Amino acid sequence: MQDRVILITGATSGIGRATALHCAGLGARVVATARSEERGQVLIEAIEAAGGEAIFVAADVRSDADVKAMVDAALSTYDRLDYAFNNAGTFGPEPAWHEYDDAHWDEVISINLTGVYRCMKYELDAMRTGSAADSRPRAIVNNASTVGHRGSGQSGPAYTAAKHGVIGLTRQAAIAYVKDNIRVNAVSPGPTLTEATAPLLERPAEEVAALLAALNPTGQLVPVEEIARTVAFLCSDAASMINGHSIPIDGGQLALL
């Protein structure tokens, strides 16, 4: 990824942060975006301290203007956009369907599905036209989920529908833009060890073991570094014939179904 430019949404925590650090370590120039300017600067300092190069652009994927501005910032700073990882997402409360609130549905869909569509719209345009266009292959990776392949007893309607939709967007764009030398894939993480899930490991050992065994055959939460490495691989020329797929990173969880 040396000197390639990658834009990462939701880059200041969890999977996004791990991917930003990993790609910077591979020589990529990182355009990191998220809502928190303060956390963004902490990330940039970490990347630069490790010898990497990055800029931060505060952006909310619910805002069309913000998304356009973050892609424009990548082009104005580096004159091109090679890769994008559309990672920003939210969980939120997941009450029973009959208690579900329309406002919550709108919020989750606006971030997890419409936000991905909006990012792809501007990223694809930047990759295929203007100063960003040259002979080098480009790639987009979207963050889906194992619940995008099935239902889940732990997920609600908006999150599950959004992740199914992300996989649909991925497949459609992969078909539509392959002749522009742009590949589009997704990753589908299983339950992942992030700030949100770390408290699970503080429960009694037997309870934790039973919980993790039910999540996937390895009996582990997925490390964020595993997802970061897969994103980098899907962006790289080593994955040149992988297009329109969603790669589960789940320790075999989906294989149990």
Instruction: Assess whether 159 carries a catalytic annotation.
Output: yes
**Which one from 78, 122, 159, 177 is the annotated catalytic residue?**
159
Instruction: Say which residue the tokens 């009959």 belong to.
Output: 98
**Cα–Cα distance measured from residue 105 to residue 94, given in angstroms and rounded to the nearest whole number:** 10
Q: Which residues are part of the catalytic machinery?
A: 159
